[in-house]
C-alpha cells in the first residue's frame, strides 16, 4: 500500500498514513482523464447562442427590383445572406454541448488523478481540520505552514464545514470542496490537495467500493 506522511494543523509531521492501493495506486489513464474533464467543461457551456436565418429575419417580402432590364444582379429579397441586415448562413442555434461519460470512466479518472497527486507528493493528509470560528488568517497560516503560499490549493472535506469554508473563501489560491461534490476538473485544476484524515478514509471507502463492483 502507498504510504504518505500525516501532518497536524500546524504542518508538523506526526506519523504515516497508509493509503488504499485500490484508490491511490491506480494505473494513471490520461486518456480517460482528458475525456472526463472535456465532458465536464462542455456541460458548463450554456449553448444559448442563436442567429436568424433568411426566413426568420423581418422584412424583405418584396422583390427589390425587377428581374431583368436594370443592369443589376438578380435578387429576390433584401434579407438574403448576401445583404447587410440579411439572414445568417450556418449560424449558431441553441444546442446542448453535453457529452456522455459513464460512471466507470468518471471513477477511473478520479482514481487516476489521486494516484498522480500521491506519486508527485501533492496530496497532504492532515490529522484534523476544524476551526472554532471562521477566520481567514487560520487558512493563511495553514497554507503557509505547508509552504504552499504561491500554489493553488484544494481542501477536500468529508462533510460541509462552514468555519473552514468561510475561512478560505476570500483566498484566491485556496478552494474547498465537499467529498460528495468531488470532481476530476477541480482535483486537477489545483496543484496541491489537503485532505483531513476523516475525508481520506471516506474517499477510500467510496472509491474502493466503486471499483469493487465494476466489470473490468
Residue 207 has a pLDDT of: 87
- Name the phi and psi angles at 7, rounded to 5: -120, 160
Identify whether the C-beta of residue 201 lies closer than 8 Å to the C-beta of residue 125.
no
pLDDT at 158: 92
Assessment of whether the complete model's pTM goes beyond 0.75: yes
Q: Which residue has the cell 475561512?
A: 167
Contact 156, 177 (CB under 8 A): yes
| Residue 216 pLDDT | 32
pLDDT score for 210? 53
Surface-to-core class of residue 69, CB atoms within 10 Å of its CB (0-12 exposed, 13-18 middle, 19+ buried)? exposed
Dist CA 58 CA 85 (whole Å):
10
Residue-wise pLDDT tens digits, 123-172 = 999 999 989 999 999 999 999 999 999 999 999 999 999 999 999 999 99
The pLDDT value recorded for residue 213 is 44
**Pairing mode, strands 3-7 and 123-126:** parallel
pLDDT at 209 (0 to 100): 66
Quick one: pLDDT at residue 215?
36
Low-confidence ranges of the chain (pLDDT < 70): 209-216
The DSSP output letter for 179 is: G
SS3 167: helix
Q: How far apart are CA 146 and CA 125, in angstroms?
A: 11
Q: CA 145, CA 157: separation in Å to the nearest integer? A: 19
Amino acid at each position: 500500500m502507498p504510504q504518505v506522511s500525516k501532518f497536524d494543523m500546524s504542518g508538523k509531521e506526526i506519523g504515516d498514513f497508509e493509503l488504499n492501493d485500490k484508490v491511490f495506486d491506480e494505473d494513471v489513464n490520461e486518456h480517460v482523464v482528458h475525456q472526463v474533464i472535456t465532458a465536464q467543461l462542455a456541460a458548463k457551456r450554456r449553448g444559448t447562442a442563436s442567429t436568424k436565418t433568411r426566413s426568420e429575419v423581418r422584412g424583405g417580402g418584396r422583390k427589390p427590383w425587377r428581374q431583368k432590364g436594370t443592369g443589376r444582379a438578380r435578387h429576390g429579397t433584401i434579407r438574403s445572406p448576401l445583404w447587410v441586415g440579411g439572414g445568417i448562413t450556418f449560424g449558431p442555434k441553441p444546442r446542448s454541448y453535453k457529452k456522455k461519460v459513464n460512471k466507470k470512466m468518471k471513477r477511473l479518472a478520479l482514481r487516476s488523478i489521486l494516484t498522480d497527486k500521491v506519486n508527485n507528493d501533492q496530496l497532504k493528509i492532515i490529522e484534523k481540520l476544524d476551526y472554532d470560528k471562521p477566520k481567514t488568517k487560520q487558512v493563511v497560516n495553514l497554507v503557509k505552514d505547508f509552504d504552499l503560499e504561491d500554489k493553488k490549493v484544494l481542501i477536500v472535506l468529508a462533510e460541509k464545514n462552514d468555519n473552514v469554508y468561510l475561512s478560505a473563501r476570500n483566498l484566491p489560491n485556496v478552494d474547498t470542496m465537499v467529498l460528495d461534490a468531488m470532481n476530476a476538473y477541480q482535483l486537477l485544476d489545483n496543484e496541491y490537495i489537503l485532505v483531513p484524515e476523516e475525508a481520506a478514509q471516506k474517499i477510500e471507502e467510496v472509491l474502493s467500493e466503486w471499483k469493487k463492483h465494476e466489470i473490468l
